[in-house]
Amino acid sequence: MMVLEGKSNLAFCPEYATAQLSKQCLGRRICQRNLQNIKKGGSVMGKVSYKNPKEADKKVRQIRDTLNGVISEMAKNASSFVVNPEKDFTRKRTLTFERMLKIILGMGGQSLNKELADYFMGADDFATKSAFVQQRDKIHPEAFKYLLHKSNELSSDEKTYMGYRLYACDGTVVNVATNPENKETHVNSYRHPEGLNQYHVNTLFDLMNKTYTDAVIQGVRVVDELQAAVSMINNLPLKGKAIFIGDRGYAAINLMEHCRRKDGMEFLIRVKEGWNTEVKALPMEEFDVDVPLDIRTTQTKEDKVAFKNGTAKYISGKSKFGKNKVSQTWDFESKHKMSIRVVRFKITEDKYETIATSLDRGSFPADKIKELYNMRWGIETSFRDLKYAIGMVNFHARKDNAIIQEIFASLVMYNFSERITACVVIVCATPRVYEYQVNFAVSAHICRSYYRKQENAPPTILQEIAKYIEPVRQGRADKRKLKAQTVVNFIYRVA
């Protein structure tokens, strides 16, 4: 029997693994047998259920109650999350502060009128689209950011890698309604004469628990991924050990030093082959070496001699009087010596990857470094689910504050859906060729419906989620297909 939990705890079929080792074609025979079962009307998966139902039911209720509890506490102190504390949400109305948060959290890809119709279905009261827009304008976007942080703080996300939390950092772009007046988000496009408006959503993602920890939202014309990453690292409420994992866009010595100076934080960042003079001088082969650096932010006579000799490296930082500069890329003291471990390994016969890290060589040899960086791909796949399963491409607003509200609401609903999905365990009565996991797109739909209605019993939701599974085919590779994207217009929404 093979047991798989949600999207995370995956195990190979023992028979298939044995067949692979003995180079027999048992896997193909299993496929043929399954095909015959399908033709006869049989089930490929056999029995599908969830393990330890009582604990799972309790966990589902706890996840929903935690989110609702945070919203209720925020409603008691609504003045801290509104634009005008003295006036906003002080009168008794149909759309209270608490109800507004829940409506925005439960939104999908429909028009605003249909979203409201779904929410008030069967209720005695009702609110118009105009009333909703007026009420949401009173809510500060920071309310949903607080909801993300507080719900994460109260949730029991406990999975680690060798005792370390794994935080991947990356960003994604979302298109919003065209507004040429917003210079920070408006860009020209040859496909769209009126141009496009885009936000860059910088995120910090917990790879082991598959949840978003934090986000910084910037207009695409003023994007600063490095500063966003520094901000999220400094704001991270870290209790134990953690590893920051980033791609080549985060290869900055300043960011690495911020990681070093945060208690318990290590870094693992991919760098270019010619990242700096020291790395560029290394041979194009596999290695694991320490690269010493002497950082200087001033240009005294002594510094210039060191630069000329190649014993020091200049980085724009604070002046010799301690004042900040406009183009500052180093936030710490001058004459700072540090050492960075650089690991290079093969990924194909003729291609290499180079990683800069602060991890100990004894506990994390080169093969572990390679494994950890490969795990970073989890944040890339999460963006697809965030946009198309949760719906962070279907906005219901034109105003910037309302759009930012919906972005953070999407992150909260993603975490809510992921935590419930992790409660599901798939049990295959017979050995299978592939690993299996829950179909997250369907699971997110069920979880959103469950949150909206607030009435389905937990066993029902887990049974429904467990029905929708898909095989995990390891080792597949495909070139990324880049194509132009546009905003999902308000008049073209799902009926």
On whether the CB atoms of residues 63 and 462 are closer than 8 A, the answer is no
**Is the CB of residue 468 less than 8 Å from the CB of residue 442?**
yes
Instruction: Give, in order, the Cα–Cα distances in Å from 232 to each of 97, 205, 212, 315.
Output: 28, 11, 12, 23
Q: What is the pLDDT along the chain (495 residues), one digit of tens a residue?
A: 334 444 433 332 333 333 333 333 333 233 333 434 433 444 444 334 455 667 778 889 999 999 999 999 999 999 999 999 999 999 999 999 999 999 999 998 888 999 999 889 888 889 999 999 999 999 999 999 999 999 999 998 889 999 999 999 999 999 999 999 999 999 988 777 788 899 999 999 999 999 999 999 999 999 999 999 999 999 999 989 999 999 999 999 999 999 999 999 999 999 999 898 889 999 999 999 999 999 888 888 888 888 888 888 888 876 665 566 656 788 888 888 999 999 999 998 889 999 999 999 999 999 999 999 999 999 999 999 999 999 999 999 999 999 999 999 999 999 999 999 998 877 766 777 777 888 999 999 999 999 988 766 667 788 888 888 888 877 676 666 666 666 776 666 665
End-to-end CA distance of the chain: 42
User: 471-493 b/e with 16+ CB inside 10 Å = b?
Assistant: eeeeeeeeeeeeeeeebbeeeeb
pTM of the model: 0.86
Domains in the chain with CATH codes: 2-51+416-472 (no CATH), 57-144+398-413 (no CATH), 163-382 (3.90.350)
Closest to 178 measured CA to CA, from 197, 154, 150, 156: 197
> 115-124 contacts: CB < 8 A, separation 24 or more?
115/396, 118/452, 119/452
Residue 318, both tokens: 């604070």
| Neighbour-count burial of 393, counting CB atoms closer than 10 A to its CB (0-12 exposed, 13-18 middle, 19+ buried) | middle
Nearest to 222 by CA among 269, 182, 189, 191: 182
Distances (CA, A) of 22 to 15, 16, 19, 56: 11, 10, 5, 39
Give the integer Cα–Cα distance in Å for 115 and 97: 17
Decide: helix, strand or coil at residue 334. coil
Residue closest to 196 by CA, chosen among 488, 492, 394, 493: 488
- Residue 385, amino acid: D
Q: Which of 48, 57, 33, 109 is nearest to 470 (CA)?
A: 48
Q: Which two three-digit tokens encode residue 45?
A: 């998966």
Task: Determine the Cα–Cα distance for residues 225 and 11; give it in Å rounded to an integer.
Answer: 36
Q: β-pairing, 313-314 with 211-219?
A: unpaired
The answer to whether 340 touches 358, Cβ cutoff 8 Å, is yes
